[in-house]
Amino acid sequence: MIAIEVTEVQAFDVLLTSGKNITASVNKLCQSLIRRGRAAPYSHASIFLTPFLLAESDVNPGVVLTNLFGACPDPHTNAGFSSVQQPRIVSRSDGAKVRLFALLPGVDAACIRRYKPIDGIDVREFVRLTHHLTSVLAGSYLAQYPALIRLAGTAGIISASVLTVLEQVGAVFKEKGITGPFCSELVTILLAAANSAILKELGMPENVAPSDIHHAQLFRTIVESNDSNELAGQEFEGV
């Protein structure tokens, strides 16, 4: 099982994962084709609102919140994350330091990246951004994941008008209600609301794929996943 350290995670960090299910495989294949064979290492993106609470858009429930502790009273929370099924936190004591790890079943790779334009903001700005991003997120909460045809839009081959018609037709057949953003689109929307520099590098949110965030210069990698059997330190029962 894959584990990733979350000890140093901050709000607005981005979690990229590569799932093992069919949707994840299709997502990575589409990204690779769009980028003319360039490898697509990640199939899903979500954003930390707190060190243990993720906002994400997933295939079945749509835009939801995922609590890594798995103890949120919101009935919709943890309904999603097809790439991370029933995540949980474990702790390890490494000398005088306690380190926290999120176990990610159903994932074969993961990394956490930090958006540099808002790294190191002061407390007052952090509170303002948290309020603002929460308001932006509320506009999409529980909106359903769009049809996979949306991925074709990132290639720039299908025009926006044609894509809209195709999505509307797909929504009718799948009996979807309000269609929301897909995973990396949601992340880009939220980060652009905090600082628009991401739009200059990656373009409009609907054209951004998880692997674009992985390659973007405006982000830096904080930590990468490893095998849960290789975690450093001794198991700690205090968490």
Given this model, what pLDDT does residue 71 score? 45
**Pairwise CA distance, residues 184 & 211, whole Å:** 9
**Pairwise CA distance, residues 45 & 187, whole Å:** 7
**Pairwise CA distance, residues 45 & 75, whole Å:** 22
**Pairwise CA distance, residues 25 & 127, whole Å:** 37
The residue type found at 100 is L
Lowest mean pLDDT among 13-22, 181-190, 215-224: 13-22
**Pairwise CA distance, residues 215 & 170, whole Å:** 31
Helix-helix angle 183-194:123-138, to 10 degrees: 140
pLDDT digit string (tens) for 198-237? 999 999 888 888 888 999 999 999 999 877 666 665 555 5
Given this model, what pLDDT does residue 97 score? 79
Lowest mean pLDDT among 8-17, 24-33, 205-214: 24-33
pTM: 0.78
Q: Into how many domains does the chain fold?
A: 1
The residue type found at 140 is S
What are the C-alpha distances in Å from 151 to residues 92, 156, 199, 239?
39, 10, 18, 40
Structure-block tokens of residue 212: 């674009």
* pLDDT(29) > 70: no
Instruction: Provide the residue range defining the domain that includes 101.
Output: 2-235
User: For position 124, which CATH number holds?
Assistant: 3.90.1720
Query: What is the residue-averaged pLDDT of the chain?
Result: 75
